Amino acid sequence: MINFSSQKKWIDTMIRQFLLNPVNIALALLLLVLSYLVLWPFFQLVLETLTWGEGDRRLSRDAVPGEFTWFHWLQATASPISEKMLYSPLVNTLITGMISTVLALLAGGTLAWCVVRSNMPGKGWLQPILTLPYIIPSFAIALAWETVFRSPKVGGQPGLYESILGVAPPEWISYGTIPISITLAIHYFPFAYLLVAGALATIDSQMEESALISGAGKLTILRRITFPVVAPAFVAAFILTFGKTIGQFALPFLLGAPVQFHTVATMVYANLALGLDSLAFVLAVILIAISLVSIWLSNRFIKKKSGRFETIGGKGFRSREVNLGSWRWPVFITVALFAFIVGILPLILLAVQSIMLIDGFFGLENLTWHFWVGTSNPDIAFGEPGVLHNNNIIGATWNTLKLASLSAVIASIIGLIIAYIVVRRSDNPLANALDQIAFIPFLFPTIAFGAMYLTLFAEPVGPIPALYGTFTLLVLISVVSRLPYSVKTGVTAVTQIGKELEEAAEVAGASWSMRFRRIVMPLASSGLTSGMMVSFVGVMRELSLIILLITPSTRVLMTAGFGYAEEGLTQLSNALVLIVAILTILGELILWRIGKGRMARLREKLD
């Protein structure tokens, strides 16, 4: 006999128990909030491109605000302005993306091999320098390029190249495809380097040694064994790097806009500046589509290949260095020179230029500390005081630190909670969904993500106030954009905490909050702090994510620097970007120290 009323009661109890469990409440709440902050904005963005806006009345007589229309898509794809608005930026995006990715991979792959597998000297200190270009804002590299190759043809003072050689550099070297591709490559090669180095480190040299015993030469081994094994990582690195380059905004804007060279990302910004919001949103959607396709391709590729190429570690795993012989020192000198040029020289150039009274005039008598410590002087830089006296900049510094630390702390803690739910409730499909949603911001090119929040928070919706122009909005978008990373760090941290450690506390009678506070948090803390530092540095150097959402009162160092660069106040923008670069490097150093401390502690445990 089935007792229906008792069954119903049973179900009631189950529901009550579900709701009484704080983990379940957190799960439900996070799902709701993240859906609103991640999925809904995307939906809104697409919706916006398909409806008439208030401002469209001046574009078309048919415009009925709020009604459905294909107008913006047609305007972007099949109108007289499509060529300029979409097709040429699209071609530019793809070409610069391709060239820079190929260059980045060539440089990154070669360097990874030299550092991981060869006996090149000086690896220890070359490695951090080689990652510098990726640590500092991409924008800094563009500014450094301009310092050297600025062409007076487009206005302003001459660059270092012209001052030394006496002739202006050809325009194709100053602006457009070539400089954008090269600077993008400089910024992203460390990314490719890290990916390939990771793959190379997993190769068991016994594979190569057995080829050696069969009589194969060094080059044959490289070609037939080493390269095929890292090939999947190489392709994945290619696609991921490409996906990142297309979302870049500030760099192509600085080196392209002066000659009307646009990429899709810069076009989003330009259209918004012109008030063509819907058109900008169409471009943002297209940008997201490209990014989705590239990441989908990379995932497909990794899935297909990785199983087959899984190299098995563990027992008998050895990694032997390849002897470069008489090439050891030439290789070292080449790598060191390269590291200097891409890692250190840009910072020196920025520093030097920030102390030149008249930009582009290279002489000792032209040096001044004015742009750092000077007070307002109407004859210099439209009376803008030096960065250390400039209230705008002091405010921006304060905002930067506030934004970066707040976002880092919030993102890490929420990331840890999400990770906890994802790991401990892996059999719950809702937890899985939460994991997926938290990852989605990774798929959005940052400028497009900014565009989404622009549409979503322009007006109040229900209980949620209009957040446009507030500092809260900046924190919100920074936190959400960091979630894919912080959840990943969190998952690593929580996975390492054995389930039994918590169960032991549970049997002792500790409540969930006590367990989270006294067991999970302390054990995850080292992972958590390094994750926080990564986010701190990441938010600090972020520009394209927030450039659309910044107002004068909420400006941060990066946007202030970008503003000065747009106005042609090179010294001030250099000084600001240099400050950000130094702050990020400091952050990385602290991170490195934390990591080292952790390694030391681990080693202690092993002994």
Binding residue (CB under 8 A) for other proteins from 23, 510, 585, 590: 510
313 belongs to the binding site for other proteins (CB under 8 A): no
Cα(453)–Cα(571) distance, integer angstroms:
32
- CB atoms under 10 Å from CB of 85, counted, come to 24
Residue type, 28: A
Residue (145 or 420) nearer to other proteins, CB: 420
Choices 67-75, 257-265, 515-523, 571-579 (CB under 8 A): range interacting with other proteins: 515-523
| DSSP helix/strand/coil, 475 | helix
Residue (373 or 504) nearer to other proteins, CB: 504
Residue (7 or 306) nearer to other proteins, CB: 7
Binding residue (CB under 8 A) for other proteins from 379, 509, 513, 603: 509
Q: Measuring CA to CA, which residue among 197, 199, 222 is closest to residue 127?
A: 197
Residue with tokens 């502690």: 601
Binding residue (CB under 8 A) for other proteins from 523, 585, 590, 594: 523
Residue (388 or 510) nearer to other proteins, CB: 510
Residue with tokens 């902050």: 37
Choices 45-53, 199-207, 500-508, 582-590 (CB under 8 A): range interacting with other proteins: 500-508
In the complex, minimum distance from the CB of residue 506 to other proteins, in angstroms, rounded to a whole number: 5
Residue (14 or 586) nearer to other proteins, CB: 14
Residue (15 or 394) nearer to other proteins, CB: 15
Query: 241-250 burial, b for 16+ CB within 10 Å, e for fewer?
Result: bbbbbbbbbb
Q: Measuring CA to CA, which residue among 438, 561, 497 is closest to residue 27?
A: 438
Cα(408)–Cα(538) distance, integer angstroms:
9
272 within 8 A of 447, measured Cβ to Cβ? no
Binding residue (CB under 8 A) for other proteins from 522, 552, 595, 597: 522
In the complex, minimum distance from the CB of residue 607 to other proteins, in angstroms, rounded to a whole number: 10
CB-count exposure of residue 468 (10 Å: 0-12, 13-18, 19+): middle
In the complex, minimum distance from the CB of residue 24 to other proteins, in angstroms, rounded to a whole number: 14
Q: Is the dihedral of CA 533, 536, 540, 541 positive or negative?
A: positive
Q: Which of residues 5-34 bind other proteins (CB under 8 A)?
A: 6, 9-10, 13, 17
In the complex, minimum distance from the CB of residue 606 to other proteins, in angstroms, rounded to a whole number: 9
Choices 41-49, 366-374, 381-389, 504-512 (CB under 8 A): range interacting with other proteins: 504-512
In the complex, minimum distance from the CB of residue 31 to other proteins, in angstroms, rounded to a whole number: 23
49 within 8 A of 278, measured Cβ to Cβ? yes
SS (H, E, C) 249-291: CHHHHHHHHHHCCCCHHHHHHHHHHCCCHHHHHHHHHHHHHHH
Binding residue (CB under 8 A) for other proteins from 300, 518, 593, 596: 518
Residue (257 or 521) nearer to other proteins, CB: 521
Binding residue (CB under 8 A) for other proteins from 219, 507, 513, 603: 507
Q: Which of residues 566-605 bind other proteins (CB under 8 A)?
A: 605
In the complex, minimum distance from the CB of residue 144 to other proteins, in angstroms, rounded to a whole number: 45
336 within 8 A of 126, measured Cβ to Cβ? yes
Choices 3-11, 241-249, 398-406, 590-598 (CB under 8 A): range interacting with other proteins: 3-11
- CB atoms under 10 Å from CB of 479, counted, come to 24
In the complex, minimum distance from the CB of residue 499 to other proteins, in angstroms, rounded to a whole number: 9
CA 17 vs. chain centroid, Å, equals 41
Cα(240)–Cα(227) distance, integer angstroms:
19
Binding residue (CB under 8 A) for other proteins from 65, 170, 330, 498: 498
Q: Measuring CA to CA, which residue among 299, 184, 185, 310 is closest to residue 240?
A: 299
Residue (430 or 519) nearer to other proteins, CB: 519
Choices 56-64, 89-97, 511-519, 562-570 (CB under 8 A): range interacting with other proteins: 511-519
The first and second tokens of residue 216, run together, are 């194969």
User: CA 491, 496, 499, 503: dihedral to nearest 10 degrees?
Assistant: -110
How many of the chain's residues bind other proteins (CB under 8 A)?
Answer: 23
Binding residue (CB under 8 A) for other proteins from 506, 568, 585, 590: 506
Residue (3 or 214) nearer to other proteins, CB: 3
Binding residue (CB under 8 A) for other proteins from 514, 582, 589, 599: 514
| 54-73 footprint of other proteins as x/- string (CB under 8 A) | --------------------
User: CA 322, 323, 326, 332: dihedral to nearest 10 degrees?
Assistant: 60
Cα(103)–Cα(116) distance, integer angstroms:
20
Residue (173 or 523) nearer to other proteins, CB: 523
In the complex, minimum distance from the CB of residue 529 to other proteins, in angstroms, rounded to a whole number: 14
Query: 97-130 burial, b for 16+ CB within 10 Å, e for fewer?
Result: bebbbebbbebbbbbbbbbbbbebeebeebbebb
495 belongs to the binding site for other proteins (CB under 8 A): no
Cα(267)–Cα(86) distance, integer angstroms:
8
Binding residue (CB under 8 A) for other proteins from 19, 501, 589, 599: 501
In the complex, minimum distance from the CB of residue 504 to other proteins, in angstroms, rounded to a whole number: 4
Residue (74 or 501) nearer to other proteins, CB: 501
Cα(255)–Cα(179) distance, integer angstroms:
7
In the complex, minimum distance from the CB of residue 604 to other proteins, in angstroms, rounded to a whole number: 8
452 within 8 A of 407, measured Cβ to Cβ? no
Binding residue (CB under 8 A) for other proteins from 124, 166, 508, 603: 508
In the complex, minimum distance from the CB of residue 603 to other proteins, in angstroms, rounded to a whole number: 11
| DSSP helix/strand/coil, 367 | strand
Phi/psi of residue 322, each to 5°?
-85, 130
519 belongs to the binding site for other proteins (CB under 8 A): yes
The first and second tokens of residue 395, run together, are 């405010």
Q: Using CB under 8 A, list all residues that contact other proteins.
A: 6, 9-10, 13, 17, 498, 500-501, 503-511, 514, 518-519, 522-523, 605
